[in-house]
Structure 1
Amino acid sequence: MKVSEAMRISAEWVSADTPVSEIASQMAKDNLGALPVGRDGRLVGMITDRDLALRVVAKKLDPETTLAIEVMSPGIVFCRTEESVEDAIHLMEQKQIRRLPVLDEKKRLVGMLSLGDIAHATSLQLAGELARAVSAHHQ
């Protein structure tokens, strides 16, 4: 099965200079746990609900003035629409991540592939193995 068959078709991302208050509102409205962050037409990182909790709320930063670039996880791990779901799963296991932005052949963001998407598209055994791998305790 290809990633394009399992992914959630949602090409939403936020600019690096977006205040985290707007990002949190968008995540709440759209029921999202993560959003890719872009700058100058390129993806530069990912911001998650965990980033907001640990890097903004816990540090008592002002969400109105704190920008995505300041609290995002830098770098971007992604997969392509034409890759197999199994390859994407191996990447998620290796990097211990639960969500992957999906890029098309023109390197444009066209969707997201999450642990939940994989659970719905593949066998329970495969989804369970991935869940276990990405939920492993960090040493």
Structure 2
Amino acid sequence: MEIAKAMHPHADWASADTPVSEVAKMMQKDDIGAVPVGKEDRLIGMITDRDIALRVVAAGRNPEKTTAEEIMTEGLVYCRTTETVEDAIHLMDQKKIRRLPVLDDNKRLVGMLSLGDISHTVSRELSGELLHAVADHHP
């Protein structure tokens, strides 16, 4: 199955200079745990709720003065609408990630693919294997 049929369409992203407090409000409003970050019309990273907890709250930083770019995870891993869900599963397993931004042929963000999306698309056995792989404890 193509990723375009399994993904959550219409994903939002935050600009690099967006205060983390605004990113957290985006997460709250949309009930999501990750927001892609862009700069000069290109995606450059991802912020997760865990990034906010560890890199802002636990570090004692001010979320209204800390920008998305300062705490994001760089090196964005993504997939394309034309790839298959199985391709995405292998990528998520290899990179140990739970969410992938989905880009179209013009390299535009058109959606997000999460473990939840995959669990509704593939067999329980395959989605269970993926969950086990990405939830494995880090060394």
TM-score of the two chains, using structure 1 as the length reference: 0.99
Deviation digits for residues 28-52 of structure 1, max 9, x if unmatched?
1110100000000000000000000
- Distance in 2 (alpha carbons) for counterparts of 1:38 and 1:17: 9
2:13 aligned with 1:30:
no
TM superposition shift of 1:75: 1.3
Query: In 1, distance between residues paired with 2:130 and 2:136?
Result: 10
Tell me if 1:59 matches 2:34.
Answer: no
Gaps of 5+ in 1: none
Query: Which residue pairs with 2:50 in the alignment?
Result: 50
The aligned counterpart of 2:135 is 135
Structure 2 Cα separation of the partners of residues 10 and 116 of structure 1 = 16
Instruction: Map residues 47-126 of structure 1 onto 2, 5 A cutoff.
Output: 47-126=47-126
Percent sequence identity is 64
Q: C-alpha offsets along residues 46-90 of structure 1, whole Å, 9 cap, x if unaligned?
A: 000000000000001001100000000011000000101001000
State the shift of 1:105 in Å: 0.5
> Structure 2: 5+ residue runs without aligned partners?
none
What amino acid is the match of 2:107? K
Residues 71-130 of structure 1: per-residue CA shift (max 9 Å, x gap): 000110000001010010000000000000000011100000000000011111111000
Amino acid at match of 2:41: G
- Kindly report structure 1 stretches of 4+ aligned residues shifted beyond 4 Å: none
SS in 1 for 2:70: helix
Partner of 1:5: 5
Between the aligned partners of 1:47 and 1:57, the Cα distance in structure 2 is 14
Shift of 1:26: 1.0
Partner of 1:51, secondary structure, is: helix
What is the distance in 2 between the residues matched to 1:74 and 1:10?
Answer: 22
With normalisation by structure 2, the TM-score equals 0.99
- Which amino acid counterpart does residue 71 of structure 1 have in structure 2? I
Cα separation, 2, equivalents of 1:78 and 1:106 = 14
Q: What is the alpha-carbon root mean square deviation over aligned residues? A: 0.5
Name the count of aligned residue pairs: 139
Aligned partner of residue 120 in structure 2, secondary structure: helix
Deviation at 1:11, TM superposition (A): 2.4
After TM superposition, give the deviation of residue 10 of structure 1 in Å. Answer: 2.3
